[in-house]
Structure 1
Amino acid sequence: MNSNHSSKLLALLLACTLVVSAVGPAAAMSASASGAPGEAEVGSDVSTTFTITKPFSDYDSWTLNGTTELTGVTWTVELYDQGGAKIDQKSYDGQSFDHDLEKSDAYEVKVQIEGTVPEVENFTYDPAQSLSLAELNQVREGGSSEAIDSWDFRPYTEESDDARSAIENAEESIEDAEDSGAGVSEAQSNYEDAISAFDGENFGLATDLATKAQDKAESSQQSNQQTQMLLYGGAGLLALVVVVGGFLWYRNQQDDYDKLR
Structure 2
Amino acid sequence: MTKTSWSRFSKLALACLFVLSVATVPAAAVSVGDSTVTSDAEVGTEVTATVTLTELYQNPSLEEWTLAGNTELTDVTWTVVYYDQTGSKVSQESYDGQSFSGASIVADDGTSEVEIRITGTVPSVDDYTYDPAQSFTVLALEQTREGGSTNEIDTWSATHYTEESREARTAIDDAAAAVEQVDDEEAERRLQNAKEAYNGEEFSLATDLAGQAQEQAEQTQQSNQRFRLALYGVGGLVVIGLLVGGFLYWRSQQNKPDKLG
Structure 1 length-normalised TM: 0.83
> Residue 38 of structure 1 corresponds to which residue in structure 2?
39
> Among residues 76, 79, 100, which one is paired with 2:104 in the alignment?
100
> Residue 154 of structure 2 corresponds to which residue in structure 1?
149
Q: Displacement, 1:51?
A: 0.6
Distance 1:62 1:49 in 2: 21
Tell me the alpha carbon deviations over residues 7-58 of structure 1, each in whole angstroms, 9 at most, x when there is no partner: xxxxxxxxxxxxxxxxxxxx95211453310000000001111111122333
Distance 1:153 1:33, change over 3 A: farther
> Residue 189 of structure 1 corresponds to which residue in structure 2?
189
Distance 2:260 2:167 in 1: 82
Letter in 2 for 1:114: T
Question: Is the Cα contact below 8 Å between 1:76 and 1:91 reproduced in 2?
Answer: yes
Structure 2 unmatched runs, 5+: 1-27
Distance 1:184 1:171 in 2: 12
Q: Displacement, 1:223?
A: 0.8
Q: Displacement, 1:194?
A: 0.9
> Residue 163 of structure 2 corresponds to which residue in structure 1?
158
- Is 1:89 matched with 2:99? no
Distance 2:66 2:30 in 1: 14
Question: Is the Cα contact below 8 Å between 1:64 and 1:136 reproduced in 2?
Answer: yes
Q: Displacement, 1:145?
A: 0.8
> Among residues 110, 116, 129, which one is paired with 1:124 in the alignment?
129
Distance 1:230 1:259 in 2: 46
**Identity fraction in percent:** 49
Q: Displacement, 1:251?
A: 2.3
Question: Is the Cα contact below 8 Å between 2:176 and 2:191 reproduced in 1?
Answer: yes
Tell me the alpha carbon deviations over residues 120-169 of structure 1, each in whole angstroms, 9 at most, x when there is no partner: 11111111111000000001122211011110000011011111111111
Distance 1:122 1:152 in 2: 16
> Residue 208 of structure 1 corresponds to which residue in structure 2?
208
Distance 1:44 1:167 in 2: 24
Q: Displacement, 1:247?
A: 2.0
Find the residue that maps to 1:55 and give its secondary structure.
coil
Question: Is the Cα contact below 8 Å between 1:33 and 1:48 reproduced in 2?
Answer: no
> Residue 9 of structure 1 corresponds to which residue in structure 2?
none
Structure 1 unmatched runs, 5+: 1-26
Question: Is the Cα contact below 8 Å between 2:57 and 2:63 reproduced in 1?
Answer: yes
Letter in 2 for 1:35: T
Question: Is the Cα contact below 8 Å between 2:105 and 2:111 reproduced in 1?
Answer: no
Q: Displacement, 1:259?
A: 10
Distance 2:199 2:91 in 1: 47
Q: Displacement, 1:195?
A: 0.8
Pairwise CA RMSD of aligned residues?
1.9
Q: Displacement, 1:201?
A: 1.0
Distance 2:212 2:257 in 1: 67
Find the residue that maps to 1:257 and give its secondary structure.
coil
Distance 1:220 1:154 in 2: 34
